[in-house]
Structure 1
């Protein structure tokens, strides 16, 4: 059991010493306790589907950190959690693209929403491969939701984004290079799922701006989305087995080249803040 709780380095690792994993459970507990209390007693917008879906994601990911759960079971839970959200919160039937205006997707929007939730849940996990990068992304994206929530009128969702940022900062203190503990699947999958669902939570609060939310959501985690997509299709074109662990992500290549974990984490965070600024500028000029 001790060995399973520790992440032991191998040829695909970016660390050199055995390090305990699963520390992201503290982010999960802080966020879900706050979400439950705040939405029940303050905002009166409690949505059991997010709480249940996020809890399912956290449980299967925690078990995977300890026992190495089959990929099939994990994807099944991710899919069920995505469907819970779509059935209760709906989906994005139209998306406002800059320079293109609104694009109608109809029922196809449900399929896009499903893949968006499942993809980001896993993409965030793929990107948690060096010290600090997942925590820094959670801080920047959470702050982005906090600011944009106030701008567009879904402040309670923005506050929850702020809580995600704050809890991730608390964890980051122990995950900064050299990391004393790793986030593990329990933290990264939970964060990916939460950032995928936040625009749908906001959709129920801001009917006037809901078509803007998909672009905003992607923009706030753009580097994580683009890094995983580029790596995914690059491996397919090279005929590699995409389900096997690897070190082909762009952020991993930076580290292999010689850059430190903290430099890469800060670089990704800095660029993410630039995206936040671009999104805010777009929203203000549009209004």
Structure 2
């Protein structure tokens, strides 16, 4: 068997994902998320009632924890590394998951009789559950008040100043030097021709540049440079660009059906490019 040189490129193959796998990934996740919220809602409702809310308002505890977990996780995923609020969003996502998970065993301990709420619930439970809604509201407002800012750098152009310093000459030793302007000396009797200015060619004016494209999904900006090679990128190349830009991995259906479709909707000519070879795509 022939040995490969260490610097030789290794070709990988972009195996197409079966359609049923993409359907299960795209539509199965919202179904699972809905069932998880339905299963967690009774325990969070029970804690709300133990904390002192009536039966109707206690259902708001389930909605508060579910919305907090979803919003914090979405902000933590979409916000790039180093952006304002990235650390706070990640911490809030973990905190929301911890609150949602701890609500279930605490409620089940009371329901199954391991703990008792008679004659009244414990003080620590009442205080903790009562503080959850205002803390969630404060953190969501904090995330909304820290948008991603892009720092623009303006280049500074300096112009070279013409040399206008006069020429200083020392005529006689011991006397102060005389300053004469920097002009040529014309001998007597020499007739000078008039100076005719030469026309200066005007540089062609560059056409106005098109305004930048604003994508609905920020992950499209990480994929768009792949088209500059003159080839239509494949799924693995787009996934590698998304992960390199600091975003989370996503399914093949989202990469091809949502992100690449949005890029080619803004620039239809990109869809006509030849597909990239397998080795280049990888």
| Alignment TM-score, normalising by the size of structure 2 | 0.26
Higher RCO structure, 1 or 2 (CA under 8 Å, sep 6+):
1
Hey, which of these two has a bigger chunk of helix by percent? Answer: 1
Return the index of the structure with the highest Cα Rg.
Answer: 2
TM-score by length of 1: 0.25
